[in-house]
Amino acid sequence: MSATLSTAKAKVDHYAVIGNPIAHSKSPDIHARFAAQTQQDLQYDRLLAPLDGFLASVQSFIRNGGKGLNVTVPFKLEAYALATTLTERARAAGAVNTLKFDGTEMLGDNTDGIGLVTDIVRNAGIAVANKSVLLLGAGGAARGVILPLLSEQPARLVLANRTHAKALDLAHRFSNQPRLKVCEFAEVEDTFDIVINATAASLASEVPPISPRVFGAHTLAYDMMYGKEPTAFMRFAKQHGAIVRDGLGMLVEQAAESFYLWRGVRPETSDVFAELRERL
């Protein structure tokens, strides 16, 4: 390889998604399309880190010129601890899914919630403001979306979980938010405008143990999971009159937010979403 080609290659900014497992990730496809669309010269890869080797993997990536990482299961909490600076939404979530490296600074962000809100408000055309919202689950998926949902000024946001204690523990991170309420699944009886499934039940083709009365004719039932076919939650909600949507749009929109954080350019997402949908 000539010195000119070697230098040109070295100047390409490197990004990756880090996780374990990671082979299934669609992030490289998404960011390759964003880069082509915005004419950004970058390389984006998958990075499989050993379960006990997150820090070493990140340090090696930075030494080799890495500029930023998307972080997925099971490293979001370790990324939170590693970041030297946190955005407000990352601090609220207590988890990081995006890292940006600039010298010795490691900026940690969480783009999951803004991805969800953008998909609901802009892509689905359903406002969150002044609506009643039910968020199912109090695990990692729920942590990242509470602040962005509250920022939309819903009439109320009810956090429901199998155990009240876990929901209450998460809600304590947002103790100054009077719109946020907590309860167990069995206690939910009202009908909501928006019902969001942040549990892992869909991975097992199951439905959270909730009353069908939470769904009305104009309810948006949103599953953060996605696949070729509707999830069990989506089928259940549709049987009871709800409008249904899966989390593919959330995946694309949170990636777009990461891309904007890294590159300062906001990609257009509709064509990327349509292409991913067709390929499922």
> Residue 97, annotated ligand binder?
yes
What count of other Cβ atoms lies within 10 Å of the Cβ of residue 130? 11
Is 11 annotated as a binding-site member? no
216 among annotated binding-site residues: no
Gap between the Cα atoms of 83 and 90, Å rounded:
10
**Catalytic residue chosen out of the listed positions 67, 76, 100, 131:** 76
Tell me whether residue 131 is one of the annotated catalytic residues.
Answer: no
Q: Is 60 annotated as a binding residue?
A: no
Cα–Cα distance between 106 and 79 in angstroms, integer? 10
* Environment class of 184 (CB within 10 Å of its CB; exposed 0-12, middle 13-18, buried 19+): middle
Q: Please check if 162 is assigned to a binding site.
A: yes
Nearest CA-CA partner of 66 in 7, 2, 18, 127: 18
Q: Give the pairing type, strands 180-184 and 156-161.
A: parallel
Q: Is 37 annotated as a binding residue?
A: no
Beta-bridge partner residues of 46: 17
Q: Is 66 annotated as a binding residue?
A: no
24 is in an annotated binding site: no
Sign of CA dihedral 37, 38, 39, 42: negative
Whether the CB-CB separation of 133 and 111 falls below 8 Å is answered with no
72 is known to lie in a ligand binding site: yes
**79 annotated binding-site participant:** no
The answer on whether 205 is annotated among ligand-binding residues is: no
Instruction: Enter the tokens of residue 56.
Output: 């070493």
Q: Annotation-wise, does 78 bind a ligand?
A: no
Question: Where do the H-state alpha helices sit in the chain?
Answer: 3-10, 27-38, 54-63, 76-82, 88-93, 112-118, 140-143, 146-151, 164-171, 232-239, 248-263, 270-279
User: What single letter denotes the amino acid at residue 62?
Assistant: I
- Was 161 annotated as part of a binding site? yes
Known binding positions: 25-27, 72, 88, 97, 112, 137-141, 161-166, 224, 226, 247, 254
Known binding positions for NADP(+): 88, 137-141, 161-166, 224, 247
Known binding positions for shikimate: 25-27, 72, 97, 112, 226, 254
Active site residues: 76
